Each structure stands twice: as structure tokens, then as C-alpha cells.
Amino acid sequence: MSRNRLVGTAAAILAAAGAAFSTGAILRGNPFADAATTSATAAEAGATIYYQDPDGKPLYSLTPRKTPDGRSWRAVPAGADVSFDEPDERPADSKAAEAKAERKIKYYRNPMGLPDTSPVPKKDSMGMDYIPVYEGEDADDGTVKLSPGKIQRTGAKSEPVVRQPVRSVIRAPGTIKEDERRVSVVALRFEGFVESVANITTGDHVHKGQPLMNVYSPALSSAAAEYLSAINAAATGKELKGARRRLENLATPEPAIRELERTREISLSIPWLAPQDGEILERNAVNGMRAGPGDVLFRIADHRLVWVLVDVAERDLAQVAVGTKVTIRPRALGGQTFTGAVALIYPHLIAQTRTARVRIEVPNPDELLRPEMYVDAEIETGTPGPVLAVPESAVLDSGTRQAVLIDKGEGRFEPREVKLGRRGGGLVEITDGISEGEAVVTSANFLIDAESNLKAALKGFAASASPSSEEPAGGMGAKP
């Protein structure tokens, strides 16, 4: 039995029974008249009008029932019943009937939602009656109006537009690399010999000014003798400065020059010092070897600041900017995190992967991050401050245009085209189209949009079916 018919039948039976019982009691002077009056009052206050399946299934009964497992059906009082159907066309009283009679039917639309209208009642090919459309139901202000029952049935919900930050995270794998600016080599600018090498090797950490090796060179000794002669001869400032400049041009360590000035003696070999702090990446110096100008004897890298190179998808590139905060999670360090910032977005895309390389600078004071480590980077993107934003579910995106449904109140909804900004955290920034405080539909908006499109199509066909149109009076879908 259908729910609508069931509720109507139950109400009619209860009304008839209550009227007969109370009338008979009054006429016969029945002592139970007060009980009948009390029963009627209870019915008005919420007496049970039907019973529903306890699991919420669309099963109803006028009498109490039980499920196969022994559970009683749920009693539904009159006050708890909510009709999800459109209001009954039959009026509840004479005034409503007169108001309904005064409403004028504009046309009849296809019951299956097809763009087919008729100025007179008719049936479709399956025998279903066309649905009447009354004046005032299809507004001309660009809005669509839905009945409370339809809004409740579709589950439409609205919420006001407010300003809030839009945050999102771009996740990408990356690799740790050395900072190219923190790598240096130790080489001679003259031909010489390595007399001895300090007790250091590849991987050792050295400090700036620490001796790496002792070097002898005839060119270096000649420059030292010339500078010492200028000092002993009390040469003028220009000549003395020129002799010292020759030693500096040979990259003679400053401590060796000061020692020469102090002792006034030329050493057979000079200690060669580390130019910076860092780890020795390469050691080519060997005791007694001959070294030519430019030969790399040591390579040293400072790892207190490292690079992280990540590949960001092309579609996310617009959200990344220099200075953006990044969280680094090395896969080898068991949950430890490091914080850095985007320093450079490389100018060319990688054609094979359609990604752009992003360089992130990460402080590494404890030198826990090692070159070639794999890491997972989380680039925090979003708006710098609060902006107008709506839930992603509120946006109707056709691919060529984006729109939202504005809740105008009293069951009216207005489709409005908007321009979108950044996305993140389930929110979408709206850059144009709505104002703060307006209510937008966040759920069931596709159903309302479908209703709006349907009514717009029907309105167009209704206009073409008017007498001023060249189409027949019965519309495009009307039968002759």
C-alpha cells in the first residue's frame, strides 16, 4: 500500500470512528462520553495514525505488526508524520479550493521531463498525464523555486559565504643535493711538490685554516726571498706592497706571510690550509707527489646547508612561489622533519614527466641530511590571508563555466556564474560573482541545477508554443 494512500485512509478511518463514537455517546447519554472526548483530544495531540517498519523501509500498516525477528513496528503519531510528496491538489477546505480555482494554468509539461509542452491536458505515449504548470511557478527573474517537500526530499543544504584562508599541500618526492656554492677545491697556482699530507682522508671533517699538507715550490721561495729583501732594504711602501702582492697572487696562506715577516727567514716548505669548513669529498694529494698549476688536490663541501630538488607537476606549478614554506621528511631518519623554503623554480620543464624542478634550501646544522638521500616534500600553498571561499561541493563546473546556486530564501535559488581562484582543504576561492554573507547551496545542488535547466527548457518551449509563434498552438511535442 502506498504511503500517501495509507496516511489518507488512516486519517479518514480515525476521523469517522471518532465522530461516530462521540455522537452516539452524547445521544444515548453513555457514561463513556468523557472517555471518548479524552480519546479525541489525545488523537489531536499525537495519536498513532499508522505503523512503519522499524528499519526505515518503505513498509507501512494501519495495525500493529512485528518483524520476522519479533521486533514491533514503529508507531507514527500525527505530529511526527512528514509528507515528502508535493501538496495534494485537492484543497483541505473551501477557501483553499477557491484559491486553487483562481490560479490559471499556463501549460502542461511532459511528466518524464522531456522538452514537450501542451496548452491543453494530454497523455504521453505511456498513458501518463501531463503535469500542469500554474502562473507564478516559473519565475522570470532567473531563479528556480522548489516546494518545501522537494527541498527536504533532495536534502538541499545552504551555508553563508565567509572569508577564510584556503590552504593546500603539494606532496612530491625529492633528493638531497650539495649546495654548489659551498664546494671548494684546493689547488696550486704554481708548479710545486707535496712534501707531506696531514692525517686526513676522504669523509673527514676539517675546519677553515686547518693544515692539509706542506708544499715546496721554487717559485714560492723566490717570491718569499723578494719580499724579504724589500723588508730588509726598508723599501718604499709601493715596492713593499708590490712584493707582498706577488706572494698573495700565488695564493700563499696569510699565516705563512706573517710568519715570514716575523722571523725574516724563508721556510723550505709552507703549510697549505683548508679554505673552509666541511667534509673532504676527494683527496688526490700524496706524499712527495709533483703538483702542477690547477691540479685538484682536495675537494671540500660544507653540508650545513643543503638543497632538496623535487619535481612538481605542471598543473600545480602556479601555486608554488619563491619563499614558500616546505616541510622535508627524510625516509631514512624515522619521522624526523626539517623545514626549508623554495629558493628557485627552474625555468624549463622536464618534457618526459611534464614536471618542473623546484630547489629548496634546508638548514642542516647537525649534518643529518646527506646528499642523495630520498625525501618526501610537503609544499604549503594557499592564499596569504582570508578570502571569500565556498566548499568544493558548492561549485557546478561544466568545464567551460563555473557557477554556484544562491539561496534566496522561501525555496528560491538563483544560478550565478563565478570565477574561481585557489583550491585546498575542501574549499575553493571565489574571486568574482558573489558577496560575503550570501548563502550558497552546498549539497544537492546538481539536483536543483537540473530542475533549473528543465524549467528553462520548458519555458523556452512554452514561448515557442504561444500564438505569436510560427509553431502550431500545441507546441513541438503536442499531438494533433
The reported pLDDT for the residue numbered 453 is: 61
The reported pLDDT for the residue numbered 201 is: 94
- The three cell numbers of residue 310 are 623535487
> Of 36-45, 104-113, 224-233, 314-323, where does mean pLDDT reach its minimum?
36-45
Task: Please give the model's pTM, rounded to 2 decimal places.
Answer: 0.56
The reported pLDDT for the residue numbered 338 is: 95
Structural contact between residues 442 and 457, judged by C-beta atoms closer than 8 angstroms? no
Give me the architecture of the 170-178+303-382 domain, per CATH.
Beta Barrel (2.40)
Question: Please, which pLDDT band fits residue 318 given cuts at 50, 70 and 90?
Answer: confident
Q: Is the pLDDT of residue 23 over 70?
A: no
Residues in CB range of 157: below 8 A, 6 or more apart: 441, 442, 443, 444
Long-range contacts of 218-227 (CB under 8 A, 24+ apart): 218/192, 219/190, 219/191, 219/192, 219/250, 220/190, 220/192, 220/247, 220/250, 220/252, 220/270, 221/266, 221/268, 223/247, 223/250, 223/252, 224/252, 224/260, 224/266, 224/267, 225/266, 227/257, 227/260
Residue 339 CA to residue 318 CA, distance in Å, equals 21
Question: Please, which pLDDT band fits residue 393 given cuts at 50, 70 and 90?
Answer: confident
Averaged confidence pLDDT in the chain: 78
The 8-class DSSP code of residue 353 comes to T
Percent of residues in the chain assigned helix, strand, coil, to nearest 5: 25, 35, 40
Of residues 472, 398, 388, the one with CA closest to residue 422: 388
Comparison of pLDDT for 129 and 151, the residue scoring more: 129
Amino acid, single-letter form, for residue 273:
L
Residue 44 CA to residue 48 CA, distance in Å, equals 10
Percent of the chain having pLDDT more than 70?
A: 72
Long-range contacts of 463-466 (CB under 8 A, 24+ apart): 465/107, 465/117, 465/118, 465/119
Question: Please, which pLDDT band fits residue 364 given cuts at 50, 70 and 90?
Answer: very high
Give the H/E segment covering residue 158. Answer: strand 157-160
Amino acid, single-letter form, for residue 285:
A
The reported pLDDT for the residue numbered 171 is: 92
> Of 53-62, 79-88, 248-257, 280-289, where does mean pLDDT reach its minimum?
79-88
pLDDT by residue (tens digit) across 130-160? 888 776 655 555 566 666 766 776 677 888 8
The stretches of 85-169 forming alpha helices (DSSP H) are 94-102, 148-154
Average pLDDT rounded to a whole number, residues 391-401: 82
Q: Is the pLDDT of residue 73 over 90?
A: no
Structural contact between residues 108 and 122, judged by C-beta atoms closer than 8 angstroms? yes
Residue 355 CA to residue 181 CA, distance in Å, equals 25
Residue 358 CA to residue 172 CA, distance in Å, equals 10
Comparison of pLDDT for 217 and 413, the residue scoring more: 217
Structural contact between residues 311 and 356, judged by C-beta atoms closer than 8 angstroms? yes
Domain 189-293, CATH among 2.60.40.420, 2.40.50.100, 1.10.10.10, 3.90.25.10:
2.40.50.100
Structural contact between residues 431 and 390, judged by C-beta atoms closer than 8 angstroms? no
The reported pLDDT for the residue numbered 13 is: 42
The CATH code for residues 158-165+383-442 is 2.40.420.20
The reported pLDDT for the residue numbered 464 is: 52
Residue 329 CA to residue 243 CA, distance in Å, equals 55
The reported pLDDT for the residue numbered 1 is: 46
Question: Please, which pLDDT band fits residue 286 given cuts at 50, 70 and 90?
Answer: very high
Instruction: Enumerate the domain spans of the chain.
Output: 3-80, 86-156+444-480, 158-165+383-442, 170-178+303-382, 189-293
Residue 233 CA to residue 46 CA, distance in Å, equals 123
pLDDT by residue (tens digit) across 85-94? 444 444 445 5
Give the bridge partners for 20, in sequence order.
none
Q: Is the pLDDT of residue 67 over 80?
A: yes
The reported pLDDT for the residue numbered 115 is: 66
